[in-house]
Structure 1
Amino acid sequence: MLLLAEVIGLLPARLLAPEVFDQREDDGIVLLLDEYPGDELHATVREAAIVCPGAAISVHETA
């Protein structure tokens, strides 16, 4: 699974998957902590993409 996230203020994703998403306090830019999260996080990351208010998270399956 490959994740792409480009957004400011990604609170829902941070709450759902703090192992994958974080946010800089000084400017609100989101940090992608794990571009290839493990299988155990796939459902959570997909949910984060669905609830992202700006639709700024893309989930791509990789081989």
Structure 2
Amino acid sequence: MRLAIINVTGGSFSGVYRKYLINIVPRLAVHPGIKHLICIFPKNEKNKGWIKRYIPVETF
């Protein structure tokens, strides 16, 4: 299965949603049923640095 998580927000993420992503994305990345995982974040969240500490991120 291919999975895309597209995070669309007008501002920034709440602390609860940030914790959810930090916990769920690494688990999805190692799940045997998921062959390809893409996480898309707004630029303002990508630049904050928390994502790169917990989630492998590629910049396009």
Whether TM-score is above 0.5 comes out as: no
More helix by share: 2
More strand by share: 1
> TM-score if structure 1 supplies the norm length?
0.31
